[in-house]
C-alpha cells in the first residue's frame, strides 16, 4: 500500500492516490501533496483553473467521450455540428433534448470548494470547457465558458435570444422534440430554429471567451488543471502557456492527462481532492 505522501510517477513528481486507510489522517501527513498544492496556491501571485468534463461526472453528467456519454450514441459529425443542425434541426434536437435532461444536474462538493477558493481570493477565475453552468450554480463568479453554455438559446431565423425557461415552455414541433415559438418574433419568412448557445464542433470559440481566457492568463504563475485530458484545443494550450511564463501546473484527475507533465499530480476524485486542497489552503490562511 502506497502512502499518499510517497513520491511516484514520472520524473519523481508527487502523486496523490486517495486511500481509505489514510483518509482520516491525510491533513496531518507532513509534506503530502494536498498540503503542497495548498501552499503553492497560497504562495502564487495569481492562480487560475482549467476544468473539463471530469469535474461534472460526479454530478451525474457522463463525459461525452466516455462509453456512457452522448457520443457513444450520437455521432458528433451527424449531431454536433452547425452544418448538421442547419441540415436537419429536428434530428439534432433529438440529441439536444437528451442533453437538456442531463444538464439538470447539481454542483458537487468539488464545484463548491472551487467557489470557496475564489471567494477567499485563492483563484482569479476559471476557464471551463463544460456547458453545464455548474461552476456558476456553485457560486463561482469569474467563469470563462470556452464552449458556450445552455442558459440561453438563439433563433437562427430572427436572431432573437430566449432563456432556457422560455424554451422549455414552448410547444414542440409535431413529431419532434424541437421547440419553436409561434410566430417567429421578428416576423421573418423563415420559421424560428432555436439553437442552444453552445459551441458546435465546426464553430469558432466565442471572441469573449478568448478575451476572457487571455485576461486570466496574464500574470498567472499557477494553474490548476482539473477533470480534463487536455486534448481539445485551444483550451489545452492554457497550462502550457502558464508554464511558458514561468508558472507551475497542478493536475487533479482520476486518470492523468497523457501529455500534460504537471509539476504536481493529485490523482483522485474531484469531489474529494478539491475540498481537501481548499481546506488545507484555508488552514494556511487562518
The three state secondary structure string of 59-80 is HCCCCCCCCCCHHHCCCHHHHC
Instruction: Please state, in angstroms and as integers, the Cα–Cα distance from residue 216 to each residue in 194, 220, 221, following that order.
Output: 32, 7, 11
Closest by alpha carbon to 155, among 170, 175, 143? Answer: 170
233-266 exposure pattern, b = at least 16 Cβ within 10 A, e = fewer = eebbebbeebbeeebbbbbbbeebbeebbbbbbb
For residues 254 and 269, the answer to whether their CB atoms sit within 8 Å is yes
Helix and strand numbers (H, E) in the chain are 11, 10
Cell numbers describing residue 173: 414541433
Which sequence positions are flagged as catalytic? 147
Neighbours of 171 (CB within 10 A): 9
Residue by residue, DSSP assigns 132-145 as: S-HHHHHT---EEE
End-to-end CA distance of the chain: 33
Residue 66, φ and ψ in degrees, nearest 5: -80, 175
- Find where cell 430554429 sits: 193
d(CA 150, CA 161): 12
Amino acid at each position: 500500500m502506497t502512502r499518499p505522501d510517497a513520491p511516484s510517477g514520472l520524473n519523481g513528481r508527487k502523486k496523490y492516490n486517495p486511500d481509505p486507510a489514510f483518509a482520516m489522517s491525510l491533513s496531518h501527513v507532513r509534506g503530502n501533496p494536498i498540503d503542497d498544492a495548498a501552499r503553492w496556491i497560497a504562495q502564487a501571485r495569481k492562480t487560475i483553473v482549467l476544468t473539463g468534463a471530469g469535474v461534472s461526472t460526479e454530478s451525474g453528467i457522463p463525459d461525452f467521450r466516455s462509453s456512457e456519454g452522448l457520443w457513444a450514441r450520437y455521432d458528433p459529425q451527424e449531431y454536433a455540428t452547425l452544418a448538421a443542425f442547419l441540415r436537419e434541426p429536428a434530428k439534432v434536437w433529438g440529441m439536444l433534448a437528451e442533453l437538456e435532461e442531463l444538464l439538470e444536474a447539481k454542483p458537487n462538493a468539488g464545484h463548491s470548494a472551487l467557489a470557496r477558493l475564489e471567494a477567499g481570493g485563492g483563484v482569479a477565475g476559471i476557464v471551463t470547457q463544460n456547458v453545464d453552468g455548474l461552476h456558476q450554480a456553485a457560486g463561482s463568479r469569474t467563469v470563462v465558458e470556452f464552449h458556450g453554455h445552455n442558459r440561453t438559446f438563439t433563433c437562427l431565423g430572427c436572431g432573437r435570444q430566449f432563456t432556457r425557461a422560455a424554451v422549455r415552455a414552448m410547444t414542440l414541433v409535431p413529431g419532434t422534440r424541437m421547440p419553436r415559438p409561434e410566430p417567429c418574433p421578428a416576423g421573418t419568412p423563415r420559421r424560428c430554429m432555436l439553437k442552444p448557445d453552445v459551441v458546435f464542433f465546426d464553430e469558432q470559440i466565442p471572441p469573449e471567451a478568448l478575451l476572457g481566457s487571455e485576461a486570466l492568463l496574464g500574470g498567472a504563475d499557477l494553474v490548476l488543471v482539473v477533470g480534463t485530458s487536455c486534448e481539445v484545443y485551444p483550451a489545452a494550450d492554457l497550462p502550457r502557456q502558464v508554464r511558458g511564463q514561468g508558472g507551475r501546473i497542478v493536475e487533479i484527475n482520476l486518470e492523468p492527462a497523457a501529455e500534460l507533465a504537471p509539476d504536481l499530480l493529485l490523482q483522485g476524485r474531484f469531489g474529494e481532492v478539491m475540498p481537501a486542497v481548499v481546506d488545507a489552503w484555508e488552514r494556511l490562511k487562518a
